[in-house]
Amino acid sequence: MEPWNFKPAGNFGMAPVAGLASLQREAGLGSIAGQALWGLLTRAYFQIFHRLKIEGEGFLPRQAPFVLVANHCSHLDALVLACALPLRLRLHAFPIAAGDTFFTKPAKAFFAACLLNALPMWRKKCGPHALDVLRQKLVSDPAIFILFPEGTRSRDGKPGRFKAGVGRLVAGSEVPVIPCHLSGCFESLPPDAKRPRFCQIHLKIGQPRVFANVPDERDGWDQISDVLSGDVAALGQPPG
């Protein structure tokens, strides 16, 4: 007979909000149902109200792990990227969200964890350990990360500089990174707006990159963030 191989949920025994904010969080049936329903609703919302246009869906890998990186100028960004994934991949996708914005109050933490499946990144106390845990989770789950390497939303709609954290997640690994460019999200919901305007949103998905030969050290991380920053900017250029 098989040896006993059950073990408690990764966030078992934690207080409710701490459990939702844990990087070891594991989704149960309720969260899976909530995320599937949320995915269908957001996809319908973006298609109806924002005439969502997606280019380059063929570049998406057929299975996890991989990382989606994009420019960041609106709270809609993560929702658009998540709903662009087919359902079988969406349930493995974790948008990386600002912990201090989404994981401090119970209602927001519940929304972020149970509907968006977001994982927190604490901007002021994000140490190397958190990135190591994420790097391990990416491969062992396997998972899909939706990441905005600028670290915060652009206040003027123009892309900012990518931080090196994304490099730390993928340097020296076979995990593909897919650059994406979002346009129309800033016009639809800029950082200072409370309600969205119904402008068209355009998501361009670029060719995957693998950084297996890039050393997992500071220079390598910077190199990766520069390459990806260039890829995302290039996707944003008008054709021709």
27 vs 199, which CB is nearer to other proteins?
27
16 vs 128, which CB is nearer to other proteins?
16
4 vs 125, which CB is nearer to other proteins?
4
b/e per residue, 171-206, with b = 16+ CB within 10 A? bebebbbbbbbbbbbbbbbbeeeeebeebebbbbbb
Picking from 196, 238, 205, the residue whose alpha carbon sits closest to that of residue 46 is: 196
Pairing of strands 93-98, 119-121: parallel
CB of 11 to other proteins, least distance (A): 8
CA angle 33, 205, 146 (to 5 degrees): 45
- Radius of gyration of the chain measured on its C-alpha atoms: 17
CB of 141 to other proteins, least distance (A): 12
CB of 28 to other proteins, least distance (A): 5
CB of 4 to other proteins, least distance (A): 7
Q: Please choose, out of 11-19, 178-186, 215-223, 226-234, the segment that lies near other proteins by the rule CB under 8 A.
A: 11-19
Q: Return d(Cα 198, Cα 16) in angstroms, integer.
A: 35
CB of 27 to other proteins, least distance (A): 9
- 13-42 footprint of other proteins as x/- string (CB under 8 A): xxxx--x------x-xxx-x----------
Q: Is residue 121 within a helix (H) or strand (E), and if so which, with residue range?
A: strand 119-121
159 belongs to the binding site for other proteins (CB under 8 A): no
217 belongs to the binding site for other proteins (CB under 8 A): no
Q: Please choose, out of 5-13, 50-58, 149-157, 170-178, the segment that lies near other proteins by the rule CB under 8 A.
A: 5-13
8 belongs to the binding site for other proteins (CB under 8 A): yes
b/e per residue, 34-68, with b = 16+ CB within 10 A? bbeebbeebbeebeeebebebebeeebeeebbbbb
SS3 69: strand
Q: Please choose, out of 2-10, 133-141, 145-153, 157-165, the segment that lies near other proteins by the rule CB under 8 A.
A: 2-10
List contacts with other proteins (CB under 8 A): 1-2, 4-9, 12-16, 19, 26, 28-30, 32
